[in-house]
């Protein structure tokens, strides 16, 4: 009997523990994927905590979304092992990335292809067991995407931070081609956004970050100009140079980043927000109409966007990100290091 080993969340706010179970048997359209690697993501820390900080002492409780023990991990690449009798096109041995943002399939969001926004979802590693494990059960083969010739760790990461950045840029629509785009926050998602923007847009984007090292890294990766939002002159410099921007992505999502983002908009401009940093943002209500402003949130991306992004990456146009591999049973120390800010680049668990 093949063992099914997992690093499981057995209590919120506590270290992960190894749990061993019988290998699941896929039924119907289900596919059992033997996992090669699973990325460790910042959002895994929030799930381990059981809450999102909303700023101040306000918290969004997220403990009701799953039953314990629970397996984290949503940046998964692996190999098809077996499948249920109704799963089609699932040759065992096929190497696949797993699209994790799986919906109920029947609600209005799912029917519109936005399973990532389904409120009755089965998101892997978020509401149903994910990839800190030797295997994962995927409900239908359509969520399995061929990633060759990419590396499995890149393919897994593209399903989360890559997809988030790709979808945010997509939500800018044609505004992204009507003038320079500004990307705020050059963390993991922001650097992916820069790489994707360089591949997709005519003009290299502007970037903003309060950290000088991150600004330097973004300039080295091809940003046209870098701004420090904490510099009181930054807003005026952008307004003078551009007359106001039409397209801004806020990968931070804090009070200050949103103030900066909305402050540099021209008339008809749009801010797409993916960041979850927290805090409370206020704006003079009349400015929304006076500037004909759009503020739109996005959350990961759709299955169709995931396919488009993989195609873009396969064309060789995206920059790679430094990755550290750790064995599955080091999952807790990987989370600890991420929490303590000791990680440069990305961490991937290998099985």
Q: Provide φ and ψ at 244, rounded to 5°.
A: 105, 140
CA 146, CA 98: separation in Å to the nearest integer? 9
Shortest CB 299 distance to Zn ion, Å: 12
- Answer for which of 31, 32, 98, 110 binds Zn ion (CB under 5 A) is 110
- Answer for which of 107, 217, 293, 321 binds Zn ion (CB under 5 A) is 107
Size of the site for Zn ion (CB under 5 A): 7
- Answer for which of 32, 41, 272, 331 binds Zn ion (CB under 5 A) is 41
CA 247, CA 184: separation in Å to the nearest integer? 11
- DSSP E strand boundaries for 92-196: 95-98, 135-138, 144-146, 181-184
Shortest CB 300 distance to Zn ion, Å: 8
- Answer for which of 32, 80, 118, 158 binds Zn ion (CB under 5 A) is 118
Is the Cα dihedral 274, 277, 281, 287 positive or negative? negative
The two tokens of residue 128 are: 């149903």
Residues 136 to 175: which contact Zn ion by CB under 5 A? 160
Instruction: Give bridge partners of residue 96 from the DSSP assignment.
Output: 78, 146
Residue (111 or 267) nearer to Zn ion, CB:
111
- Answer for which of 50, 84, 100, 103 binds Zn ion (CB under 5 A) is 103
Q: Considering the rule CB under 5 A, would residue 303 count as an interface residue with Zn ion?
A: no
Residue (110 or 181) nearer to Zn ion, CB:
110
Closest CA to 132 of 2, 63, 35, 23: 35
The two tokens of residue 47 are: 């799930």
Closest CA to 78 of 10, 31, 139, 22: 31
Q: Considering the rule CB under 5 A, would residue 87 count as an interface residue with Zn ion?
A: no
Residue 112 and residue 99 in contact, taking contact as beta carbons nearer than 8 Å: no
Q: Considering the rule CB under 5 A, would residue 104 count as an interface residue with Zn ion?
A: yes
Category of 292 on φ-ψ map: left (φ > 0), alpha (ψ -120 to 50) or beta: left
Residue (192 or 264) nearer to Zn ion, CB:
192
The two tokens of residue 91 are: 């040759």
Residue (110 or 206) nearer to Zn ion, CB:
110
Shortest CB 114 distance to Zn ion, Å: 8
Stretch that binds Zn ion, among 82-90, 107-115, 290-298, 334-342 (CB under 5 A): 107-115
Shortest CB 182 distance to Zn ion, Å: 24
Residue 229 and residue 255 in contact, taking contact as beta carbons nearer than 8 Å: no
Residue 158 and residue 307 in contact, taking contact as beta carbons nearer than 8 Å: no
Stretch that binds Zn ion, among 82-90, 106-114, 137-145, 302-310 (CB under 5 A): 106-114
Residue (158 or 223) nearer to Zn ion, CB:
158
Residue (47 or 272) nearer to Zn ion, CB:
47
Residue (110 or 197) nearer to Zn ion, CB:
110
Instruction: Give bridge partners of residue 144 from the DSSP assignment.
Output: 98
Residues 194 to 253: which contact Zn ion by CB under 5 A? none
- Interacting residues toward Zn ion by CB under 5 A: 41, 103-104, 107, 110, 118, 160
């Amino acid at each position: 009997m093949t063992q099914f080993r997992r690093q499981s969340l057995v209590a919120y706010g506590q270290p992960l523990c190894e749990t061993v179970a019988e290998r699941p048997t896929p039924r119907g359209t289900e596919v059992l994927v033997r996992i090669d690697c699973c990325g460790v993501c910042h959002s895994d820390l929030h799930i381990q905590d059981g809450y999102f900080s909303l700023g101040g002492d306000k918290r969004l409780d997220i403990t009701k979304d799953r039953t314990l023990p629970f397996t984290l991990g949503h940046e998964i690449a692996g190999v098809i092992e077996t499948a249920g009798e109704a799963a089609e096109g699932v040759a065992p041995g096929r190497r696949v990335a797993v699209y994790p943002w799986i919906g109920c399939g029947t609600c209005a969001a799912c029917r519109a292809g936005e399973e990532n926004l389904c409120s009755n979802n089965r998101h892997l590693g978020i509401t149903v067991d994910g990839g800190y494990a030797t295997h994962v059960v995927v409900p239908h083969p359509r969520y399995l995407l061929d990633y060759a010739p990419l590396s499995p760790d890149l393919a897994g990461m593209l399903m989360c931070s890559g997809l988030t950045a790709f979808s945010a840029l997509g939500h800018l629509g044609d505004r992204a081609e009507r003038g320079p785009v500004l990307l705020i926050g050059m963390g993991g998602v922001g650097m992916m956004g820069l790489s994707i923007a360089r591949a997709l847009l005519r003009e290299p984007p502007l970037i903003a970050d309060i950290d000088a090292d991150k600004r330097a890294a973004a300039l080295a990766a091809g940003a046209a100009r870098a701004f420090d939002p904490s510099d009181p002159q930054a807003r005026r410099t952008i307004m003078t140079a551009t007359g106001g921007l039409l397209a801004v992505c806020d990968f931070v999502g804090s009070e200050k980043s949103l103030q900066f983002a909305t402050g540099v908009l021209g008339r008809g401009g749009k801010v797409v927000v993916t960041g979850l940093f927290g805090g409370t943002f206020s704006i003079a209500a009349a400015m929304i109409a006076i500037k004909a402003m759009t503020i739109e949130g996005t959350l990961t991306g759709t299955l169709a966007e995931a396919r488009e992004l993989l195609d873009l990456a396969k064309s060789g146009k995206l920059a790679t990100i430094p990755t550290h591999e750790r064995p599955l049973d080091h999952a807790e120390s990987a989370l600890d290091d991420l929490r303590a800010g000791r990680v440069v680049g990305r961490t991937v668990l290998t099985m």
